[in-house]
Amino acid sequence: MERLRSLAAPATPALAALGAVAVAAAVWLVFSFAPMEKVMGMPQKIFYFHVPLAILSYVGFFITFVGSAAYLWKGSREMDHLAVAGAEVGLLCATLTLITGMLWGRPIWGAYWTWDPRLTTTFILWLIYAAYLILRSQVEDETLRAKYAAVMGIVGFADVPLVHFSVKLWSRGIHPVIERGPGDPGMHPDMFTAFKVSLAAMAVLFAVVFILRARVEFLRAEVERLKSARRP
Amino acid sequence: MDFVVAAYAVIWVIFFAYVFVLARRLSALEGDVSRLKEKQ
């Protein structure tokens, strides 16, 4: 873990620069390369960042799930630091997914919000991880805080597959779903190229923010350690 | 078009605000660590 941390810190500025270039390329591809969708028109352009943000929120919550399980199994405080970083960055992505989804829904559905299964389960997911962070801020004892949060990080992850499969589990939903087949991305190839670049760009920025957030947690633990070492 | 502009603006405003907050927290914690190490 120490070796990983020493490698991550100097790589962050380079990753941030790469992310900035990739985002610029993605925006250019979305607006100048990908064709205009015939039914939705311009609002469909929101999809290129809305879907990658949703995928990355799953990644963040998966990190929390793995970190929480590893903490309960091994008792490693470092895994707890990674779990909280995953939850906070995942929650950032989930917040942006919900907002961009609402801004897409208004011109397409005529409403910012409907209680569609995908939207409802995503909102529940957002509440679970917001509650996870609130829980962490309310428990004073470090060990208890990590234990409670780990249990919540594991149980809360059960909503992720529910969100993902909600469009199939509840057939009454109106959230669009891309029908993909073997070798068929379910969209125009140029749209798929723009989508893949957007996903890669957002993944790089996700990595940068995750490294920074994890570093905050490691430094906070070090401050606590140094303070407790000074106490008589 | 307004909704597309709003969506892209929201993404970057919230993202950079979060990065700014993280950078401030990091800088404060790095200061705390070096101060505490000096006192030891």
Answer whether A106 sits within 8 Å of B3, measured CB to CB: yes
* Cα A202 to Cα A56: distance, rounded to the nearest angstrom: 8
ipTM for the complex? 0.93
Answer whether B29 sits within 8 Å of A104, measured CB to CB: no
Indicate the SS3 state at residue A181.
strand
Give pLDDT tens digits for A116-151. 888 999 999 999 999 999 999 999 888 999 999 999
Q: Which residues of chain A lie closer than 8 angstroms to B26, CB-CB?
A: 212, 215-216, 219
Give pLDDT tens digits for A38-76. 888 888 999 999 999 999 999 999 999 999 999 999 888
Chain centre distance of CA B14 = 10
* Cα A45 to Cα B8: distance, rounded to the nearest angstrom: 10
Residue A189, pLDDT > 80, answer yes
Q: Which chain A residues in 40-99 lie under 8 Å from chain B, judged by CB atoms?
A: 42-43, 45-46, 49-50, 53, 92, 95-96, 99
* Cα A161 to Cα A182: distance, rounded to the nearest angstrom: 22
Phi-psi region of A173 (alpha: psi -120 to 50; beta: other; left: phi over 0): beta
Identity of the residue in A95, A104, A226 whose CB atom sits nearest the CB atom of B37: A226
- Locate the chain B residue with the closest alpha carbon to A40: B1
B22, B34, B40, best to mutate vs chain A, most A CBs in 10 Å: B22
Per-residue confidence (pLDDT) for residue A141, from 0 to 100: 87
Per-residue confidence (pLDDT) for residue A61, from 0 to 100: 96
The single-letter code of the amino acid at B21 is V
> Would you tell me the crossing angle of helices A159-169 and A117-138 to the nearest 10 degrees?
170
List chain B domain ranges: 1-40
pTM of the model as a whole? 0.91
* Cα A208 to Cα A18: distance, rounded to the nearest angstrom: 10
Q: Give chain A's mean pLDDT.
A: 89
C-alpha dist (Å) from residue A162 to A117, A121, A123, A146: 9, 7, 12, 25
